[in-house]
């Protein structure tokens, strides 16, 4: 009898289930709103990346519907052949203006951006220097390149300086060095010291690449992101990468930088060249999101006032909120079983916030990762504070 060649599928899933490392998919019945229906229960959404509530903003929805009327449901092609529409060009021009950059380029997703661009920026004979907590899409992008890699301790610029000095002594000399970091770290909510990283990059002639997926719409003037937050010049950060899937409320990755970067990226990134372009509805909704950020600064202001209130309340209640200075506030409980029970207790109390456990974070650093949302009312934030305090006391966390 021949062996079932797919037998490993069930076996490996069973192992994940047995070690409680499998994903149980939660289903939203309807839109992602401050109060969403999840698995049939109406709960306060406290872990979505929809920071500004733009995924349901009337201007974005109207733009998407109108684009279907004027441009159809799909683009019909990859961008380099017959899939570049006027809407794609408009979005890239609008984004570049918003970011204060010479040029921008839109990819299908943030993941496709990192996986497609990084292996083109560096290859054999080059070095990539990466923060140890960088996002998985950066890790995969680096793996796809043939460059050597060095990892520095999380957000530790002394360690980065050490790695750069060692690189300088390397023989034969590296052709190019790429320094790459997340802007805001998604599990901890801390901000990369991009000012010092950029200065070290300049001292050592390295390219500087920041993945600002969680900084856009959050940090900087009117949510322009981490480069704006640190008042850095465009020539100090060579690639500012981001996504439309979080604060912008839609989907799609992007980069901003020089015109040469844009042209290099679209001529060489395989994920861009070989994958169908965004449908008109997506592109038009992204343009509307840029409009909203430019015209309605109140969303970013409310995100921060809610964030300050929640962080203070969690601190006063005795929770460990780690190093976060952004709307991502981890409630670190330590043990992964405890984090799961806390998440379930919160769900019972009407708050949806998922546990983050090993291997996404260290074994003893399991947490509930909360993400603030500007669309919440003051009463909603109060509701969340009460629920966390109660769940924390019930389970002996505080
Ligand atoms: N980079 C970071 C830091 C992220 O958090 C994410 C989303 N999880 C991505 C890249 C990928 O973005 P996208 O959802 O657009 O693929």
Instruction: Please write the tens of the pLDDT for every residue from 136-172.
Output: 999 999 999 999 999 999 999 999 999 999 999 998 9
Q: How far is the CA of 213 from the centre of ligand 1 (A)?
A: 6
The domain containing residue 212 runs over which residues? 58-295
Encode burial over 171-188: b for 16+ CB neighbours within 10 A, e otherwise. eeebeebbbbbbbbbbbb
Residue 70 pLDDT > 80: yes
- Asked whether the whole model's pTM tops 0.95, one would answer yes
182 lines ligand 1 (CB under 6 A): yes
Q: Both 290 and 390 in a single domain?
A: no
Read off the pLDDT of each residue in 346-353 and give the average, rounded to a whole number. 98
109 lines ligand 1 (CB under 6 A): yes
Cβ atoms of residues 226 and 215 within 8 Å: yes
Model pLDDT, residue 1: 65
Last residue of a domain, one of 266, 295, 324: 295
Model pLDDT, residue 43: 98
Q: Both 107 and 168 in a single domain?
A: yes
253 lines ligand 1 (CB under 6 A): yes
Closest CA relative to residue 203, chosen from 254, 160, 234: 160
Q: Both 120 and 255 in a single domain?
A: yes
**Residue-wise pLDDT tens digits, 212-230:** 999 999 999 999 999 999 9
117 lines ligand 1 (CB under 6 A): no
- Classify residue 52: in a domain, yes or no: no
Question: H or E segment at 32?
Answer: none
Q: Both 266 and 306 in a single domain?
A: no
Residue 236 binned pLDDT confidence (cut-offs 50, 70, 90): very high
Residue 360 pLDDT > 90: no
- Classify residue 322: in a domain, yes or no: yes
Mean pLDDT of all residues belonging to the chain: 97
243 lines ligand 1 (CB under 6 A): yes
For residue 243, the ligand 1 atom closest to its alpha carbon is 15
**Residue-wise pLDDT tens digits, 1-21:** 678 999 999 999 999 999 888
Encoded tokens for 109: 């997703």
Q: Both 62 and 35 in a single domain?
A: no
Q: How far is the CA of 118 from the centre of ligand 1 (A)?
A: 14
Q: Both 87 and 67 in a single domain?
A: yes
Q: Both 241 and 288 in a single domain?
A: yes
Last residue of a domain, one of 259, 280, 295: 295
240 lines ligand 1 (CB under 6 A): no
Q: How far is the CA of 107 from the centre of ligand 1 (A)?
A: 12
* 355 strand-pairing partners: 368
For residue 183, the ligand 1 atom closest to its alpha carbon is 3
Model pLDDT, residue 359: 84
CATH number for 256: 3.40.640.10
Residue 358 pLDDT > 90: no
Model pLDDT, residue 49: 97
- Classify residue 11: in a domain, yes or no: no
Read off the pLDDT of each residue in 83-108 and give the average, rounded to a whole number. 98
Q: How far is the CA of 241 from the centre of ligand 1 (A)?
A: 10
Q: Both 68 and 38 in a single domain?
A: no
Q: Both 146 and 272 in a single domain?
A: yes
Model pLDDT, residue 22: 85
More confident residue, 92 or 362: 92
Structural domains counted in the chain: 2
Last residue of a domain, one of 260, 295, 330: 295
Residue 339 pLDDT > 70: yes
Read off the pLDDT of each residue in 284-313 and give the average, rounded to a whole number. 98
Model pLDDT, residue 110: 98
Q: How far is the CA of 252 from the centre of ligand 1 (A)?
A: 9
Looking at the annotation, which residues are catalytic? 186, 214, 246
Question: H or E segment at 385?
Answer: helix 378-394
245 lines ligand 1 (CB under 6 A): yes
Model pLDDT, residue 20: 80
Q: Are strands 253-257 and 103-107 parallel, antiparallel or unpaired?
A: antiparallel
For residue 252, the ligand 1 atom closest to its alpha carbon is 15
CATH number for 338: 3.90.1150.10
């Amino acid at each position: 009898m021949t062996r079932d060649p797919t037998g490993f599928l069930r076996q490996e899933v069973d192992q994940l289930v047995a070690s409680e490392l499998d994903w149980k998919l939660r289903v939203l019945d309807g839109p992602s709103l401050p109060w969403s229906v999840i698995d049939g229960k109406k709960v306060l959404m406290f872990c979505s990346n929809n920071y500004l509530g733009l995924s349901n903003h009337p201007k974005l929805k109207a733009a998407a519907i109108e684009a279907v009327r004027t441009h159809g449901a799909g683009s019909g092609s990859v961008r380099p052949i017959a899939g570049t529409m006027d809407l794609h060009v408009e979005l890239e021009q609008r984004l570049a203006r918003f970011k204060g950059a010479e040029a921008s380029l839109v990819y299908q997703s943030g993941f496709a951006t990192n996986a497609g661009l990084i292996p083109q920026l560096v290859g054999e004979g080059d070095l990539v220097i990466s923060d140890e907590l960088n996002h998985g899409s950066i890790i995969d992008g680096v793996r796809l390149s043939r460059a050597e890699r060095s990892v520095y301790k999380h957000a530790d610029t002394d360690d980065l300086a050490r790695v750069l000095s060692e690189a300088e002594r390397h023989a034969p000399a590296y052709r190019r060095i790429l320094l790459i970091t997340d802007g805001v770290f998604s599990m901890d909510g801390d901000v990369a010291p991009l000012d010092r990283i950029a200065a070290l990059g300049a001292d050592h002639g390295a390219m500087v690449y920041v993945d600002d997926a969680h900084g856009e719409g959050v940090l900087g003037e009117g949510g322009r992101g981490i480069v704006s937050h640190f008042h850095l010049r465009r020539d100090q950060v060579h690639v500012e990468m981001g996504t439309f899937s979080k604060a912008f409320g839609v989907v799609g990755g992007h980069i901003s930088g020089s015109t040469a970067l844009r042209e290099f990226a679209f001529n060489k990134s395989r994920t861009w060249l070989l994958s169908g372009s965004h449908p008109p509805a997506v592109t038009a909704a992204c343009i509307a999101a840029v409009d909203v950020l430019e015209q309605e600064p109140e969303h970013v202001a409310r995100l921060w006032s809610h964030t300050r209130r929640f962080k203070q309340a969690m601190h006063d209640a005795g929770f460990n909120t780690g190093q976060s200075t952004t709307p991502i506030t981890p409630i670190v409980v330590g043990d992964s079983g405890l984090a799961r029970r806390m998440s379930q207790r919160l769900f019972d109390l009407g708050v949806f916030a998922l546990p983050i456990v090993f291997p996404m974070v260290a074994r003893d650093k399991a947490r509930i990762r909360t993400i603030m949302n500007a669309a919440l009312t003051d009463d909603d934030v109060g509701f969340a504070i009460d629920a966390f305090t109660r769940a924390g006391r019930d389970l002996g966390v505080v």
